Amino acid sequence: MAQLKTDLLVIGAGSGGLSVAAGAVQMGADVILLEGHKMGGDCLNYGCVPSKALIASGKAAQAQAHAARYGVADVVPQVDYAAAMGHVSDVIAQIAPVDSQERFEGLGVKVIRAYGRFLSGDEVQAGEHVIRARRIVIATGSLPLVPPIPGLESVPYVTNETLFEMREKPEHLLIVGGGPIGMEMAQAHRRLGSRVTVIEGARALGKDDPELAAIALDRLRGEGIEIAEEALAQEVRGQAGAIEIEAKDGRVFKGSHLLMAVGRKANIERLDLDKAGIETAKAGIKVDASLKTSNRRVYAIGDVAGGLQFTHVAGYHAGIVIRSALFGLPAKTRTDHIPYATYTDPEIAQVGLTEAAAREAHGAALEVVRFEYHHNDRAIAERKTTGLIKVMVVKGRPVGASIVGHQAGELISLWSLVIANGLKMKHVANMVAPYPTIGEINKRAAGAYFSPRLFENAMVKRVVGAVQRWLP
């Protein structure tokens, strides 16, 4: 066994691990990075990147089929599913060099292509290497959760890890799970010509504001997607091309292909965490606010830490760890300013508290301001008028924002900035947005907060009247 020593050992070359490794080595730390599978992790190879690429193919097909409202003749899109998946592969290939072993070795990181497992509190074995590290970062991400549904073990299915290997378009895609992954892939496949049925055991898009989710779900149903809610899968049967799912209430759904999209689980099985004294919980590795595990030499970041499972959260965690592990500075995570988006059409985006959570937390002190897309001139020009924004405000300070509509994922960043820095609605109102842009929706939401205070306030009118009488 080759013995190695390092300042920082990073286990996992997904988005979080790569961010830690790149930042630490460029700041002068000695860094070793372990990856037993693909550089770039889930996001690049199976998640964010390929899913958004396939969504783009679906949008292109949808644009051809619904162009008449712009004065361009509708045409039936000629979808080549294999070529669409080739587009997905090409997008991955274009981004891959940024996450590659060669790039990180060029930065000065020692990259070992092997899985790591703990031997002790500060030692990890990876292949033929035993590495002793001053600090260790676990960034192994998550895996698709496949529940033990009777019959599933004998029926062919795909997860997000195998979906993008398909080259033959599903005739009728069954999707178990009505969360973001399930709904995004449902719409993409429907637009590419597949029949699609989504089977959800509770409420589709159940983590989102119900009012906003309903707007998105209406669109998806309008495009021909069957969405069965309160349909807990009880049994799976059949074979390739002829699959049946029976729900607990007796409903039976038939299709040709099956995608399991019911959630994620922390990727910890190979790590031998007990040998390092690292405690776990149901959702993943237990960490404190500084992302330290029960072994104070070891941090856990991203999905494996059991919190919000988003690529940008892993990147945020990387910054916290670098400040703590490299500089010994106090650094703690927070979640109130973390945005997320679901990339259906229309998109759904959220940061901070939803309306329901804000009402529970703040009661009568809460004000909810709203602005609907159909009042935005750019949205009208582009025929993208379905949607609205809600901002939850307490004493002039936003505590949450919820958006459904065109470019919601872009719009939400402003509200993350506002909440992260403790800004108030007046700061958004002071912003000037170029006309005509979808971004004006944010400013108009601030206007909706101040309008009753200015235009429906008798005192304001009396003051203005008095000033006008006094002015020469």
Residue 302 known to bind ligand: no
Residue 39 known to bind ligand: no
Cis peptide before 436 (omega within 30 of 0): yes
Residue 165 known to bind ligand: no
Residue 175 known to bind ligand: no
Residue 182 known to bind ligand: yes
Residue 140 known to bind ligand: yes
Going by the DSSP 8-state scheme, the letter that residue 133 receives in this structure is: E
Residue 108 known to bind ligand: no
Residue 116 known to bind ligand: yes
CB 4 within 8 A of CB 129: yes
Strand 252-255 and strand 142-144: pairing? unpaired
Residue 367 known to bind ligand: no
Residue 200 known to bind ligand: yes
Residue 141 known to bind ligand: yes
Angle formed at CA 452 by CA 447 and CA 453, multiple of 5 degrees: 90
Q: Which helix (H) or strand (E) holds 134?
A: strand 129-138
CB 261 within 8 A of CB 176: yes
Angle formed at CA 88 by CA 86 and CA 93, multiple of 5 degrees: 95
Going by the DSSP 8-state scheme, the letter that residue 277 receives in this structure is: T
Residue 447 known to bind ligand: no
CB 89 within 8 A of CB 8: no
Rounded distance between C-alpha atoms, residue 230 and residue 222, angstroms = 20
- Whole-angstrom distance between the N-terminal and C-terminal Cα of the chain? 91
Helices and strands (H, E) in the chain, number of each type:
14, 23
Going by the annotation, the residues of the binding site for NAD(+) are 177-184, 200, 263
Going by the annotation, the residues of the binding site for FAD are 52, 116, 140-142, 303
Going by the annotation, the residues of the binding site are 52, 116, 140-142, 177-184, 200, 263, 303
